[in-house]
Structure 1
Amino acid sequence: PSPWLPPLPALLPWTPPPAPKPAAERAAALPAVEYGIVDLPAQQTRAPLVLDLDRAGHLHIVGSPRSGRSQTLRTLAAALGQAHGADDVHLYGIDCGNGALNALTALPHCGAVVDRNQTERLGRLLDRLSAELTARQSILGARGTADLTELRGTQPAEERLAHIVLMVDRFEVFEREYTAYDNGSYMERMIRLLRDGAGVGIHVVLAGDRVLGSSRFSGTTEDKIVLRLNDRQDYSSVGIPTKSAPADPAPGRGIRTQDLSEAQIAVLGEDLSGTAQADILVTLGRELTERESSVPLARRPIRLDVLPDRVTYADALALHTHGGPMRPLVAVGGDTLTSLGPDLADVPTFVVAGPPRTGRSTALLTAAESLLAAGTGLIVLAPRRSPLRRLRGRPGVAVVITDAEVTAEEFRQALGNVPEEHGVIVVDDAELFMGAEIDPDLALLARGGAGTGWGVLAAGNAESLSLSLAGWMGQVKRNRTGMLLSPQGLSDGEVIGVKLSRGVVGQAPQPGRGLLHLGDGTLRTVQVPFVEALEADL
């Protein structure tokens, strides 16, 4: 520091920038946001430390624990939210620490903050960002524009693509836990965002320790702020000569690697405790939510709802807005939580496969209840003890067959007794009917030979069903729709026509948690609702 400049302040309060103009009056270019100050002794001056989304790529915040990394992310989030509209900047967070980023969810700009233990939700976030990256590359290529800033200049205000900022706290934990997870697919998607995201307006702000000095990550940006590192030898690994390393910088004090200038990160209030800083961000979030209330839903960041561990049938039915006599409710899931299930008028079969006691029968019962509510007639095959036997005598249920040796004549008579225009055969423990006398009849139904008014719902042991190559179950597998509950082997994917990765198999069974495939090549993690009356009986 120059002797002609006073020392940088140890406490730098953040000054909120002016609110943005109404969307219709905003320029395509976004103003840079200040999140600290930088000392420029050669020029005998100080300048704001800024993040300019129109010109910047990614940003690395490097430091040891308790050096101010998380606070830097919170200050940046506050600055971006205050300066920009929720239709111009979308925020997402991956919190691999102790929840410092959770307060970001109060901002209307924030789509989701994902905890490191929410592996499935983290995968959805990376998938969503990867898909957005691909889509934006196609748009830029079709328009012949170099980057998002140039593209936004050619678009009307109501159609401009938003800048996306992904913040990752304690990146060293992410790197340690996800480098090898699922054959490295999570880390590969993160590397792709770092490699290709900046040009299409996807900016990654990584806060981590010396791991960011690795050649794998350090080359993705020149914009780095190095806070305190516990070992002075680590400074050289992140681009700062050891002789230029500070002796014992205070939290929030760092060095900008571009020019080795000293910088001080701003804080949101004089109380430096994490709780107080988070409370200020939450209060700001309430103010910004009111300010941004006119932003249409389509222009806001995409939500990534948490998939609940338990959901009742009544709650799931409230989400079932696209039901019908051939569209049963099977599970809930999706980025925005909704009901999911097959269209049996399109593909006449749906199979639920998994180990015992993972919720196969519960899934069938949920689907059966929703079909009965839609006025569909049912035939139930339940050769073993099953909650589906409780449907005996219900209006719309033609018969409940408990004998695995049922004859073809008895089965055809039951088909003729279905009281409704649409009929579905619900088969529990389906492996017991492979090669049975009614196999040809079930195969005809599975092929859709009885018309679009008939369908088959089946559930069974995944290992047994995966071995079937012929008969009615072979046709069910060829239809390539179904749900796997707690898959234990890669071969389980053959039952529903998908190829599984190692990251989703072999985990401890979690009743009702499954992978849904509706024939479109997309695997969705879902949760099967439980029927309250059934649980009370159990």
Structure 2
Amino acid sequence: MPRLVIVFDEFAEFKGRHPEESKRLIGIARQGRSLGVHLILATQNIEAAVDPEILQNSTFRICLRVGQAQDSLQMIGIPDAVNLARGRAYFRAQARQQFQGAYCGGPHGKRGESVSPRGIIWVRRDGARREINLPGWADGRGHGEPEPPQYTEAQAIVERIQQAARYLRIRRPALVWPDPLPPRLHLPEILARHFQGGWDGARWSVCRPLRAQARQIAEIQPLIGMCDDPARQQQVLLQLDPERGGHNLLMFGSAGTGKSTLLRTLVSAIAHTRSPDSAHIYVLDFGGSSALKPLESFPHVGAVVTRFEDERVVRLIRFIQDEVSRRDALLRREAVDNYRDLNARRAPSERLPAIFLIIDGFGEFKRLAPAELVRSVGALLGGGVAVGLHVIVSANLQADVPNAIFANIGLRLTFSQADQSEYFRIVGRPSEARLRQDIESPPPPGRGLLRGTPPLEFQAALPSRGDSDEEQATQLSLAAQAMSAAWKGPRPPKIRALPFLVTPTAMVEAAQSVAQTDRADLLVPLGLDFDTLTPLAVDLAEDGPGFLVAGTGPQSGKTTLLRTWVLGLGAQPSHDRLHFLFLDFHTRTLAAFRRLPHQNAYVGSAAGLDKALAALDEEVARRKAQLESMYEAADGDFDSGQVIRGWPHIMVVV
């Protein structure tokens, strides 16, 4: 069993920051002495670091020059260490012995330069000396290896030890923990290192982990960075993992700490690992800078709605609500628990895509949006889990998010916070060292804490390659354009707004899309429905007989609507099925319709009103009399509706 040597440089600093851990460390050294565990402590502050327990459990002590005689007395029992020369020291075991420490920081030749070998002398505790010869040392080389480049004596010593260990086939000790998280991570590099498949620049394929895992992954969860877990001695991918409480995500951080960048990374990760028919993304960008607007170029993105588009904000939330309700009814009808089970039964072309609702700047959303919409987002958290809805929310402070939302999102993370109490509320209690580091040296951009016990440190990935923001934005835009050009399949439904102007051309297109009936000549689209943005059509035969067009005052659009309606009816080819009576003796706005090819009457003055109404009464009486005679002549059942449908309709426009 190899011996374990634990070395601490500046132990006083460690003891001050981690007093409990330092006690455990001394206990480990005391109990492990017989098991080959050795502890080497170095410090400048002897008074703070060395206590009776440490002295009691220290077999050997080395004291170099110190500034105070008391420190020398505490270490070696005499005050002489205050007068030592540089590099000179006292070694105390059972007796004190002065020695000159070796200096290994000097130069040891240049790259490729041969250095004369020197023998190694082992000085025993009793003063006896013995020369040591290692294999390969005499000729300056290891076993079958060329001379490595040398810079300092310390580097040369390390290289020689490595050569000897390889020659003797001594296994390298296991790393206690991985290297620290890098200050910058790029999403494409992480994907290439851990996954295969996905977007290859021309098409999508199934994305799978490179390494086999015990838990089979049906679909790659969105990747946003790397997380450091020292307690488990590993660094893991930071992903939205529903099976580990990460169905939804809540992120916090002061302004400018990287929340919007992380959301861009999230969208880019989805786009690179899933095809547009398997993931639909909708974004509410309330961050203020419209930083997420370029994401609309991805074929996966149905809409990026900004804080200035009130109507589209409402429509987007309602669309998500309707889709959740539709899917919920579908799951009940198919008798399955969630949309993944449903997709497992369906052909690939019939599977339901996952939906990602992203809200950037929830504090502004809560301030500007109606309270009903804010409550709707909270309701979506519970109902959306089974139907494949993921909600991702960003905010500056914990107070920006209602408790109904905050308490229902288990995956929470935060970037730097000006008020350290925010860490406790959002992710739990960080270590004292982490809090002190936050004050003394601000963390690199994209560094934050993930909720846990204790909270774990993570590094958010950048969405694309590039050293500057401009390069990353360019790379992200190029990727979105390439994906959009390559994808020929269905895309997410768009979230449109009701236009301020509906043109006649749009109405012609609407007329072609409305449902046709046996009286299609009386069905006229008048505009677009506010809620659904589908054509709003009125059928004289089915919806009448009376219609009222009302407005708040002049210039509200009443006359324009009448003109649209009459023109739509007049454009129909069956002129004999419709007669017009225009009563326009006040504004004369309908005078142009006298030239319609239909049988019509136009009244432009009060004098002609009585005559027109009398003619109308006469026509009504004639039709009633005709129906009566048909009733009397009919033998059995008589269908008056069929007779009425054969008569031309009379439209009185006032």
TM-score in terms of structure 1 length = 0.69
Give deviations 1:283-322, integer Å, cap 9, x for gaps: 22222223331x2x3xx32222233223432344244314
Give deviations 1:144-181, integer Å, cap 9, x for gaps: 32222222223222221111111111111111122xx2
Q: Quick one: percent identity of the two aligned structures?
A: 25
2:413 to 193, 201, 225: 225
1:282 paired with 2:477, answer yes
Could you tell me which residue of structure 2 aligns to residue 239 of structure 1?
A: 427
2:241 to 52, 58, 67: 52
Output the CA distance in 1 between the equivalents of 2:618 and 2:275. 61
Asked whether the equivalents of residues 311 and 497 of structure 2 are also in contact (C-alpha less than 8 Å), the reply is: no
Output the CA distance in 1 between the equivalents of 2:349 and 2:273. 18
Provide the aligned length of Structure 1 versus Structure 2: 421
Could you tell me which residue of structure 1 aligns to residue 228 of structure 2?
A: 39
Could you tell me which residue of structure 2 aligns to residue 65 of structure 1?
A: 255
Asked whether the equivalents of residues 304 and 336 of structure 1 are also in contact (C-alpha less than 8 Å), the reply is: no
Given residue 372 of structure 2, which amino acid in structure 1 is its aligned partner?
S
Asked whether the equivalents of residues 278 and 353 of structure 2 are also in contact (C-alpha less than 8 Å), the reply is: yes
Output the CA distance in 1 between the equivalents of 2:243 and 2:274. 12
Given residue 537 of structure 2, which amino acid in structure 1 is its aligned partner?
G
Shift, 1:26, TM fit: 9.1
Of structures 1 and 2, the larger Rg is shown by 2
Instruction: Say which SS state the counterpart of residue 581 (structure 2) adopts.
Output: strand
Give deviations 1:301-355, integer Å, cap 9, x for gaps: 2222233223432344244314642122311357886543222222125443221
Output the CA distance in 2 between the equivalents of 1:335 and 1:81. 30
Output the CA distance in 1 between the equivalents of 2:616 and 2:279. 59
Shift, 1:266, TM fit: 1.1
Instruction: Say which SS state the counterpart of residue 200 (structure 1) adopts.
Output: coil
1:9 paired with 2:182, answer yes
Give deviations 1:211-252, integer Å, cap 9, x for gaps: 355422211111112112232222223233265544433332
Given residue 413 of structure 1, which amino acid in structure 2 is its aligned partner?
A
Could you tell me which residue of structure 2 aligns to residue 355 of structure 1?
A: 552
Give deviations 1:18-61, integer Å, cap 9, x for gaps: 32699998999212232211112223321111123676421112
C-alpha spacing 1:350/1:25, structure 2 compared with 1 (3 Å) = farther
Instruction: Say which SS state the counterpart of residue 237 (structure 2) adopts.
Output: strand
1:209 paired with 2:396, answer yes
Output the CA distance in 1 between the equivalents of 2:476 and 2:313. 23
C-alpha spacing 1:416/1:241, structure 2 compared with 1 (3 Å) = farther
Given residue 412 of structure 2, which amino acid in structure 1 is its aligned partner?
K
Could you tell me which residue of structure 2 aligns to residue 197 of structure 1?
A: 384
Asked whether the equivalents of residues 207 and 274 of structure 2 are also in contact (C-alpha less than 8 Å), the reply is: no
Moved more, 401-410 or 148-157: 401-410
2:445 to 246, 251, 264: 251
C-alpha spacing 1:360/1:212, structure 2 compared with 1 (3 Å) = same
C-alpha spacing 1:76/1:383, structure 2 compared with 1 (3 Å) = farther
Output the CA distance in 2 between the equivalents of 1:336 and 1:13. 41
Could you tell me which residue of structure 1 aligns to residue 564 of structure 2?
A: 366
1:187 paired with 2:377, answer no
Output the CA distance in 2 between the equivalents of 1:362 and 1:273. 54
Output the CA distance in 2 between the equivalents of 1:72 and 1:79. 10
Shift, 1:456, TM fit: 5.5
C-alpha spacing 1:47/1:166, structure 2 compared with 1 (3 Å) = same
Give deviations 1:45-97, integer Å, cap 9, x for gaps: 21111123676421112112211111111111111011111111111111112
Could you tell me which residue of structure 2 aligns to residue 413 of structure 1?
A: 615
Shift, 1:388, TM fit: 2.9
1:302 paired with 2:481, answer no
C-alpha spacing 1:138/1:11, structure 2 compared with 1 (3 Å) = same
1:175 paired with 2:366, answer yes
Give deviations 1:425-472, integer Å, cap 9, x for gaps: xxxxxxxxxxxxxxxxxxxxxx9996585375878xxxxxxxxxxxxx
Output the CA distance in 1 between the equivalents of 2:380 and 2:649. 46
Asked whether the equivalents of residues 344 and 455 of structure 1 are also in contact (C-alpha less than 8 Å), the reply is: no
TM-score in terms of structure 2 length = 0.58
Output the CA distance in 1 between the equivalents of 2:600 and 2:264. 61
Asked whether the equivalents of residues 364 and 457 of structure 1 are also in contact (C-alpha less than 8 Å), the reply is: no
Asked whether the equivalents of residues 582 and 653 of structure 2 are also in contact (C-alpha less than 8 Å), the reply is: no
1:385 to 563, 573, 587: 587
C-alpha spacing 1:283/1:457, structure 2 compared with 1 (3 Å) = farther
Asked whether the equivalents of residues 326 and 455 of structure 1 are also in contact (C-alpha less than 8 Å), the reply is: no
Asked whether the equivalents of residues 221 and 240 of structure 2 are also in contact (C-alpha less than 8 Å), the reply is: yes
* Higher RCO (Cα < 8 Å, 6 or more apart): 1
C-alpha spacing 1:287/1:117, structure 2 compared with 1 (3 Å) = same
Could you tell me which residue of structure 1 aligns to residue 104 of structure 2?
A: none
Could you tell me which residue of structure 1 aligns to residue 265 of structure 2?
A: 75
Asked whether the equivalents of residues 130 and 193 of structure 1 are also in contact (C-alpha less than 8 Å), the reply is: yes
Asked whether the equivalents of residues 82 and 288 of structure 1 are also in contact (C-alpha less than 8 Å), the reply is: no
Asked whether the equivalents of residues 40 and 47 of structure 1 are also in contact (C-alpha less than 8 Å), the reply is: yes
Instruction: Say which SS state the counterpart of residue 219 (structure 2) adopts.
Output: coil
Output the CA distance in 1 between the equivalents of 2:248 and 2:652. 49
2:198 to 12, 19, 39: 19
Could you tell me which residue of structure 1 aligns to residue 521 of structure 2?
A: 325
Unaligned stretches of 5+ in structure 1?
A: 418-446, 460-538
